[in-house]
Amino acid sequence: MSEESESNLASKAAIAAGAAIGSAAIAAALLFVKRRKARNEEKPLHPEEAPETD
């Protein structure tokens, strides 16, 4: 009977670990998309009105 409870505990731990990894992956993907979108909305490094230095 102890083998069954250990197996049940191990499966619960595996499910919890999988859920944590999945949640972390989703959070990382959302942060990546947010950062990428913010970079696209930034002004270019060299504005069109910059004086020429040549």
pLDDT of residue 38: 84
Query: Using CA atoms in the order 37, 39, 42, 46, what is the torsion angle rounded to 10 degrees?
Result: -150
Q: What is the pLDDT of residues 1-54, one digit of tens each?
A: 456 677 899 999 999 999 999 999 999 999 999 998 888 777 666 667 777 776
Give CA angle at 24 (22, 11), nearest 5°: 40
Alpha carbon 42 to its chain's center: 21
Alpha-carbon span 20 to 14, nearest angstrom:
10
pLDDT of residue 19: 96
pLDDT of residue 48: 72
